[in-house]
Amino acid sequence: MSWVTAKRLFCLIVLVAVTLWAMHITVPDATEQTPLESSRLRDVLAPMQKGLTWLSRQAHFVVSLPVSMYRAAERNQALEQEVASLKSQLARQNEYIMENRRLAALLAYKQVMEQEYNLMTASVIARDPGNWFATVKINRGSRDGVKENMTVLSPEGLVGRVVSVSPSNCEVLLISDPRSGVGSLVQETRTPGIVEGTLGGSGMARMIHIPKNSLLEEGQIVVTSGLGSVFPKGIPVGTLGSVRDEPTGLFQSAEVKPFANLDKLEEVFIIVNVLPGAGSSPEGG
């Protein structure tokens, strides 16, 4: 064995020994502490290590900042796109939920009302362009059997009546239109009056020609009387608001807040005909 070979062998042995020793002291459940562990050196080094770790973390952050910012920007863009797409999905789902609720309410109402009336559903497709009148166009016409003066309802209450019909759609005069008049009565007191529209945009109506001696209170319910109009009897119209004397002094009038949200109508019913035994005459007199 040459001198060089012996030296290399010695180095190898030292290396293996050091490695074995290192293995020994790094065994997790070693019972004895190493000289370095037991000394106070570790406590002394700790703040320095902490500082170095902080420094290297900062350095890493500074060096990788452009890259991470670039990645963050990319990620941000992707997330923004995802959020936008999820938002639109959510809006669509909300729309479905709301439509579902509306249709469920319509269906329930239709099932109840079918004992009295033959109903046809329709959707609102356009409204009056101005702010004075209140008319809506709905997607049913003479082809579907719609005729003039048919009553139009929503599950909440009376909406109006059909005033003109074309083959595929028709125009409905809402009860808030100043041209509209509905023979009505106050449900509790049976006081008669006429509900006429005030203004298209306001969505409000008022009950006029109420006998002066009748006692009325805010919140009382107004229903159709079935007299002097084309509307069947007993359809809820709205609730009474403030009551005041008419200028003539013979009658009083009251504001009426319609049950149906006339500004936001989407689906409505048309009463095609009133079934016998419904408790009112078909055309209401």
Partner 1 sequence: MPFLVLLLLLAGAIILQTTVLDYVDVLGIKPDLIMLIVVLNGFLLGTREGAFLGYAAGILEDLFAGGFIGLNALSKMAAGYLAGMAGLRLFRENTLVATGVVFLSTFAGNSVYYILLNMVGIKVPPFYAFFRVIIPVAVYTSLLTPLFFRRIFRFVQLRDRDI
Please give the residue ranges that form the binding site for partner 1 (CB under 8 A): 126-133, 135, 137, 164, 171, 178-179, 198-199, 201-203, 263
DSSP letters of 106-173? Answer: HHHHHHHHTTTEEEEEEEEEEE-SSSS--EEEES--GGGT--TT-EEE-SSSEEEEEEEE-SS-EEEE
Beta carbon nearer to partner 1, 154 or 280? 154
Min dist. Cβ of residue 261 to partner 1 (A): 11
Beta carbon nearer to partner 1, 128 or 283? 128
Min dist. Cβ of residue 200 to partner 1 (A): 8
Beta carbon nearer to partner 1, 25 or 199? 199
Identity of residue 46? A
Give the Cα separation of 238 and 255 in Å (integer).
Answer: 10
Min dist. Cβ of residue 128 to partner 1 (A): 6
Min dist. Cβ of residue 268 to partner 1 (A): 15
Beta carbon nearer to partner 1, 11 or 125? 125
Closest by CA position to 269, among listed 167, 116, 130, 131: 116
Helix (H/G/I), strand (E/B), else coil: 188: coil
Min dist. Cβ of residue 129 to partner 1 (A): 4
Beta carbon nearer to partner 1, 114 or 266? 266
Whether residue 260 contacts residue 154, with contact meaning beta carbons closer than 8 Å, is answered with yes
Beta carbon nearer to partner 1, 41 or 125? 125
In this structure, what token pair is assigned to residue 122? 């329709």
Which residues partner with 140 through β-bridges?
Answer: none
Min dist. Cβ of residue 206 to partner 1 (A): 9
Q: Is the dihedral of CA 111, 114, 120, 123 positive or negative?
A: negative
- State the Cα torsion 279-283-284-285 to the nearest 10°: -130
